[in-house]
Amino acid sequence: MRVPALLLALLVSLPAAAAEETKEIGHVNTAITNLGLTRSHRVVVERFDDPDVQGVSCYISQARTGGVSGMVGLAEDPARFALSCVTTGTVRVTEGARRGQRGENVYESNTSLFFKETRVHRFVDEERGVVVYMAWSTKLVDGSPYNAVAVVPIR
């Protein structure tokens, strides 16, 4: 009987590990589940900072599934999100920032227990002097993953 309780505690604690890299700014409830006895469906706004680009903060909003399955980490969140990145100081791209067509993964969030994540990749467009961030889902939907783009000038 103790094994299921331990497994449940582990699953509930998984989102907390990702919270150290991001900060939840706020959320809105979009639908009440189970007469309000469990967490509602919601849209959550989180902030993350790019470790290799100083002076940039990105904000991502994502749909989160509520109900019992959402509370214990078993729900699959919809692949819907928005992304916006802003300058918060002088923008400096470190030498360690990967450049090129493949970019570098700077953020990821599990959106289901198995095989589905929201990721944000960074690309540096040296020619135009901007940093490009692209959010995308690892789940293919109608042959193409959902995605969003934000651009920050390097000054």
pLDDT in tens, 9-42: 333 333 333 334 789 898 888 777 666 665 677 8
Burial status of residue 122 (CB atoms within 10 A of its CB: 0-12, 13-18, 19 or more): buried
Look up the pTM and report it.
0.70
Query: Mean pLDDT for the chain?
Result: 75
- β-partners of residue 45 are 26, 61
Distance CA 89, CA 35 (A): 45
**Is residue 48 very low, low, confident or very high in pLDDT (cuts 50, 70, 90)?**
very high
Digit-coded pLDDT (tens) for 67-110: 555 555 555 556 678 999 999 999 999 988 877 788 898 988 76
Domain ranges of the chain: 2-153
Return the closest-CA partner of residue 151 out of 127, 113, 125.
Answer: 125
At residue 2, does pLDDT exceed 80?
Answer: no
